[in-house]
Amino acid sequence: MILKGILYIVLILFSAVLLVVSLIMTALKFNTNGKQALRWLIGFGVSLLVLVFAILMLARGVAGKAKEFVGNIEEFGKEQSERMDSLNNLYTNSKDSLLESASVNYLMTLEPDSIGGRVPEQFYSYLGFRDYYRLPIVWPYSLHCMDSLGDATLYNEANVQQFDVNDNGELSCDVNGIMTFAFTKEYLIGMKVKIENKPKKVYFAYDFKNKSEKIFKNEQELLNYARGKGFDESTELKSCKDYYNGF
């Protein structure tokens, strides 16, 4: 089509030049040489026909390509629309499946009595995007991981209306670098890494009700404390990755 278009353009230019020349020569020869004037007049007519033909063919080709382009755009738009519908259905199905998972069902049993049954579904179903990971625990708390599931920060999301947007009212609890953890309805326990001169393991327990943190010398001291706060003797500290994969 491109080659044909170039040929038609060349033909249009050539016939246009020939048309002008024929018209001029016809005028010049009209009074001096009737036969030559007639030849140039015929040349003028032929040039005009060729010019009109070339213009029509070029216009036809352009119109055909334009129609094909519009058709491709419409087809692309249709494919994208179908793809978005498919993704929406996939998200809806994934969200519904997630809300029925054992992990979410367990978290729902930990909801405070004062809000039981009124926790937004998105609190449980939104697990982050790309290199941001969100790990819901006991309402209204969740753990947030950036870049990887290596360590997390504890957040209070009681004021959050929409969980999949930035600056949504979440509040940091100033418990950072959480590597492993476990929780009940009242407490979050775990090990976090504190960076000073060099990385240092810190064992902690966070009281959801009083919003306070207690530090321990080692894991055994933490677990002894945890058993007195309702944790099972078989309680193990999970990594952020293992907990996330449980959803």
Digit-coded pLDDT (tens) for 194-229? 877 778 899 999 999 999 999 999 999 999 999 999
Give dist(CA 136, CA 246) in Å, integer.
Answer: 11
pLDDT of 112 over the 90 cut:
no
Where in the chain are the domains? 2-97, 119-245
Give dist(CA 115, CA 53) in Å, integer.
Answer: 80
Write down the pLDDT at residue 90.
Answer: 42
**CA separation (Å) from 48 to 10, 27, 36, 194?**
15, 16, 18, 87
pTM above 0.75, yes or no: no
Digit-coded pLDDT (tens) for 9-65? 877 787 777 778 777 777 776 767 667 777 777 777 787 887 788 788 878 877 777
Write down the pLDDT at residue 1.
Answer: 60
Contact indicator for 214, 225 with CB cutoff of 8 Å: yes
Give dist(CA 120, CA 115) in Å, integer.
Answer: 10
Contact indicator for 138, 110 with CB cutoff of 8 Å: yes
Digit-coded pLDDT (tens) for 146-203? 999 999 999 999 999 888 887 788 999 999 999 999 999 999 999 999 877 778 899 9
CA nearest neighbour of 100 among 128, 121, 127, 129 = 121
Please identify which residue in the block is written with the tokens 């902690």.
204
